[in-house]
Each structure stands twice: as C-alpha cells, then as structure tokens.
Structure 1
C-alpha cells in the first residue's frame, strides 16, 4: 500500500483533440488501474485538466499513456505538466 508520504501530485493539462472523444473516461479507467486519485475535467478552451496523485512510478506511467491518448479517438498534441506540493483532496478518481 502507498503511504501519504510516498504519494506525489501533479497538474496535467492536455491539448489537442481531447474533448468529445472519451478522453476523460479513458483517463478515469487508466487512473483507477494505476491507483491514482484525483479529477479530470473539460476546460472552456477545449483542453482537459487533470489533477492527479499517486506514486511517482504510477504518475510517470500515467503521463506516458496520456501522451499517446487514453482512447483511440483522442489526439494529444501536447501536455503541460507541473509537479505540485500538497495533495489532491480526494480518495478516488472522478470526472468533473
């Protein structure tokens, strides 16, 4: 089990064809598979914002999979990633 001290947090903004293509649901499935908590939501500028918390290895795997797109229909042009101090205030991963 991952302890609070070993969890890391990051903010990921995905750009490209990421809305209306199942990106959030694919992200939810991937996060649950990797034991990552947080949220995913569409933004008005047609990007998607992900707040994620998990082990460093899980987050690095998560980011690598997001770069390829969590669904076939998604076309991620780039991700903007910032590592955060503190924790995401959720014990699950949810779509907003």
Structure 2
C-alpha cells in the first residue's frame, strides 16, 4: 500500500511542479510520476538537511516532506530545462 501512495503523491507533486515550470504540455502521466519521485529523492538529498524533514520516498507524509519533494521536483525540471534549452524558465 505504501508504494501506491508514493506513486500517487509523486504523480501529483510532479504534475504541480510541471505546472509551475510550464512543462505540463510536454509531459504525460508517467513522466509526471517519474519527475515527482526522482524530484523527491533529489529534494531529500539536497534540501532535507536544510529545511528538515524527509522526502515522500521514506514514507513520511507531513507538510515538510511534501514541500521538500515539491522543491526537489522543481529543481529537477529546472536542470532538465537548462540542458534542453540552455535556459531555465
């Protein structure tokens, strides 16, 4: 059951991050889930020591973990945009 929750929450976080970064038209459901989960891992690695909390992939589902995962997904999309277009939107 935990894996399903992580996939659903990761998909929502990836979708919200793609809306913020204006890449939603280029991504589908599968890519939103991947961006949400990989962004959660990235946020857990980079931002969790600064903000506190953990990422959603550890099973923590509080507001700090959702914020860390969301910011990690935005950072991931910014890095992808930087390599794809040589500019961050």
TM-score normalised by the chain length of structure 2: 0.33
TM-score normalised by the chain length of structure 1: 0.32
User: Counting strand residues as a fraction of each chain, which structure ranks higher?
Assistant: 1
User: Counting helix residues as a fraction of each chain, which structure ranks higher?
Assistant: 2
